[in-house]
Amino acid sequence: MFMHDSTVASAAVIFGLNPMWYAAILFILTYVVIMTERINRAIVALLAAGLMIFGGVLNQEAAIRGVDFNTIGLLIGMMVIVAITRQSGVFQYLAIWSAKKVDASPWGILAMLSVVTAVLSALLDNVTTVLLIVPIALLITEELKVSAYPYLFSMIVFSNIGGTATLIGDPPNIMIGSALGLTFNDFVLNTAPVIMIVLLATLIPIYLIWGRHLKAAAEDRQRVMDFNEREAITDASLLKKCLAVIAAVIMGFVFAHALGLEAATVALFGAAALLLLQCWPHGADDQSKHVTEAFTEVEWITIFFFVGLFIVVHGLDSTGLLKLLADHLLALTGGDLTATAMTILWSSAVLSAFVDNIPFVATMIPLIKAMAPTFGGPEGLMPLWWALSLGACLGGNGTLIGASANLVVAGFAERAGQPIRFVPFLLMAFPMMLMSIAISTVYLYWRYL
């Protein structure tokens, strides 16, 4: 991914400015404008990418080299697969089935929906998961006549926890995996074990704060038990096709390395296969309608944000500034692997709680890569990559603006008359996030350091 390209940075920069200063100021301004949320982040990233090229830091060929098309392809492929699968009603089926499995007990439903959210976030992605599950949770809590707040809070927390477990669950993991050629199995073997511990540990404070106080009348619980989950399945034929393709895609991720394939190839091929199964044997007009519907569901704002951001960070890296910062970080930690890993874990967690973790991780990837000579080459950096993954993904739970999924749930909550406010959320969520990072600290030290 982000290759150091000093030949590009030595090109003439506009007005004779120092390339490093120009790229650094442009990067900081980009970050500041993204954080203000006054201008759509895709527009900001693409404009900044253009200024990197027009300013002379990169030429167009170098800019294209900076774009990680494996990340882009993986995101688009999974978004198309999820968009088609959603039409079958299977996610609503899962939510209702979960509620009935615990006899509509308010705490049981909270725990089950939390686990379902975590699992789906690991296999799909966390934003998609909350879009699918939150409306069902709101319906169930309305029928039970209990506050929706604990359920919505839990979905935010567990979507980020679950997303940390796999290559495809959270954008930072997709970026790290693509940059290093890590496989689906690598994340399952290295991040999933600690995530299972974090998941169970996080259920404890949620039970103590809310779970033990949740009560519902017998007649209200019966109403939920009377829901027919089978009615949620609106297209059984499509569901079979979707489940077959999703199973094949997950198997493709597992064996991708052995087959010499990238995750993007597996995801895009799976998306194309599912589109074919959905469209066949319809006529040309119906096929165009299905394909248009699926592509409309792709989060193009996120995709183009990534494209622009990759170019901006590549431009910054090409000036040598990130290598300089890596050297300073190593000087602060004395070149000690344990101190460096812990610094990355905790700083990633705290910073990702307050700023979008996507641009943060995009910046950290080349910075960590520059440390390879100190730790004996790329293999010696692996504890640092797992520290970055755990810190950036779990850190998203610290505040309401820490991850995209958080804001999506907050939007649902506002419309449902159960608003999630920044400070109350911070007071509950930040300590839970710190607990998850403390568990990750012990895990990293025990397993890698």
Tens of pLDDT, residues 313-339: 889 888 888 778 778 877 888 889 999
For residues 279, 284, 285, 290, the Cα torsion angle rounded to the nearest 10 degrees is 20
Residue 59 has pLDDT above 60, yes or no: yes
3-state helix, strand, coil in the chain (%, to 5): 80, 0, 20
Average pLDDT, the chain: 87
Task: Taking residues 269-293, report their average pLDDT.
Answer: 87
pTM beyond 0.85:
no
Task: Measure the CA–CA gap between 133 and 243, rounded to whole angstroms.
Answer: 18
Residue pair 440/394 in contact (Cβ under 8 Å)? The answer is yes
Q: How far is CA 195 from CA 158, 254, 392, 410, in A?
A: 10, 19, 13, 24
pLDDT at 143: 85
Residue 15 has pLDDT above 80, yes or no: no
Residue pair 270/249 in contact (Cβ under 8 Å)? The answer is yes
